[in-house]
Amino acid sequence: MSDQTPQGDDESGDEGVGVSRRGFLTGIGVAGVVGLAVGGGVGYATAPKSSGSASGGGSTTGPTGEPSVSPSASSETIKVGLVAPVTGPYSGDGQEMQRGAELGVEAVNKAGGVHGRQLELVIADVSDLSPELYVKAAQRLTGEVAAAAVFSGYCTYDQAEYPTYAKVGVPMFHFNTYQGNVDYVKDNNITNIYEGCPTEIWYGKGFVPLMQSWIDQGLWKPSSKTAAIVTSNDPYSISIAKAVQEDLKKIGWTTPIYEEVVAPTADWGPVLAKIRATPPGLIFVTDYIAGDLAAFSKQFATAPTPSLLYQQYGPSIPEYIELAGDAANGVIWSTTIGLLPDAIGKAFADLYRAKYNAEPGLSQAGGQFDIIQMWARTANQADDPMNFTRVNELLKTAIYRGVNGTYSFTPGELSVPPYPDLINDPSLAMAHLTYQIKDLKQVCIAPDPYGQGTFTLPPWLA
């Protein structure tokens, strides 16, 4: 693409990852990652949305809107499901989920499949994230599709779809990053639903001590020990906002500004007016939609306050920098699941670019790629991938190192623990990554050993 930003070093010597506009399919990917290579293909979708295959085929839609099986589909394939918002306001992230899953399926197929059978990817579009669509997707994937495993980006906050998966016992993996989902699994003794990353409670628990370390090192002197916390009106964002508020309080900070908005939103004028009237030392935004956060950054940049600006997760999606432009520079963000800036992560990024002619996002694409391969490896160890009891038993003791780090599941909770916030060993836990955007490049600044650079004052504070 003509607007693609190459990788390289910024002026401070921090190595970053460039981002670009969403690209088009450009054919088959190249060499694989962590021992797997690309090949095989994907099948059909459960919504009128095409899912490309390595053979150039894809899904088609019949006259009633129901999908037709692609010519490459076979009764010998093993079907696996992906639940993702491939259309609608969350499609930027949904596209990352789909592309990562496609690459994961292709890698497994090239390596020989599962018990010698090729995988076929079935995609269920949950465009507006409504519980109705999630339940419908669960019923279809566990019913007529008879998927051997289901992979999801987000989930519902009330776990509306969970009973369907629990009843069947099919391994179901998601990256919803919500403690409520984990609590539901634990409280209801569910043994087959896995959260493939640490939950949202670790955002504040990880950021506050990191922020304090910058103060202690003299890298940043806050204008005041006050924070403006801005959250969207969903349980996930509110949970992060409340947790960081409590953790800030523990180090003597106050939160005179706490604003809740309805997402998605583009007009941040009323919120910014309150921030400019009483400038805080820190602005902490927990809305996770890339477009919302880009709009905030652009509007903030017209009259910035002497505040550090943190935005949660959304800047990991490539469209964020496209939309925010230069206003993105200096912004700090983090994710509890992210593409590691090491040799394995960079190999995946090369793989993604080769197929899609675009830069990968720094979260969901790698996550879906990883978890499909973790399941496939485990299913190959079982006598039959449809023996859900045995596959789930094996998953509970599995440790897998993927492009996004290490996956292992906490007993009872079936979620991945964070490094270094809970376990100070990256071989047993997933890194809670913090980035700062510099010269329109993503620079990982924590934790070690993944840091590519160090925290620097953003342009409006320098």
What HEC string does 143-208 produce?
CCCCCCEEEECCCCCCCCCHHHHHHHCCCEEECCCCHHHHHHHHHCCCCCEEECCCCCHHHHHHHH
Position 427 scores a pLDDT of 95
CATH number reported for the structural domain that contains residue 42 in this entry: 3.40.50.2300
Whether residues 158 and 39 fall in one domain = yes
**59 pLDDT above the threshold of 50:** no
Predicted structure pTM score: 0.80
Whether residues 316 and 251 fall in one domain = yes
Whether residues 185 and 207 fall in one domain = no
Q: CA 208 to CA 241: how far, in whole Å?
A: 12
Whether residues 183 and 207 fall in one domain = no
420 occurs within a structural domain: no
Position 66 scores a pLDDT of 32
Whether residues 267 and 287 fall in one domain = yes
pLDDT band at 275 (very low <50, low <70, confident <90, very high): very high
On average, the pLDDT of the chain sits at: 86
Position 63 scores a pLDDT of 26
Q: How much is the average pLDDT of 209-225?
A: 97
Q: Which of 59-68, 131-140, 195-204 has the lowest mean pLDDT?
A: 59-68
Whether residues 218 and 251 fall in one domain = yes
391 occurs within a structural domain: yes
In angstroms, the Cα distances linking 234 to 263, 429, 456 are 8, 27, 32
pLDDT band at 31 (very low <50, low <70, confident <90, very high): very low
Whether residues 314 and 368 fall in one domain = no
Q: How much is the average pLDDT of 152-181?
A: 97
Q: How much is the average pLDDT of 48-67?
A: 32
Whether residues 117 and 241 fall in one domain = no
Whether residues 163 and 28 fall in one domain = yes
**171 pLDDT above the threshold of 90:** yes
**203 pLDDT above the threshold of 60:** yes
Whether residues 103 and 240 fall in one domain = no
Closest alpha carbon to 338 in 419, 438, 411, 422: 419
Whether residues 244 and 364 fall in one domain = no
81 occurs within a structural domain: yes
Q: CA 20 to CA 129: how far, in whole Å?
A: 26
85 occurs within a structural domain: yes
Domain count, the chain: 2
Sign of the Cα torsion 62, 82, 142, 157 reads: negative
Whether residues 190 and 208 fall in one domain = no
Q: What residue numbers bound the domain in which 57 lies? A: 20-199+357-407
460 occurs within a structural domain: no
Q: Give percent of the chain with pLDDT exceeding 70.
A: 84
Position 75 scores a pLDDT of 53
Going by the DSSP 8-state scheme, the letter that residue 5 receives in this structure is P
12 occurs within a structural domain: no
220 occurs within a structural domain: yes
Q: How much is the average pLDDT of 234-260?
A: 96
454 occurs within a structural domain: no
**70 pLDDT above the threshold of 70:** no
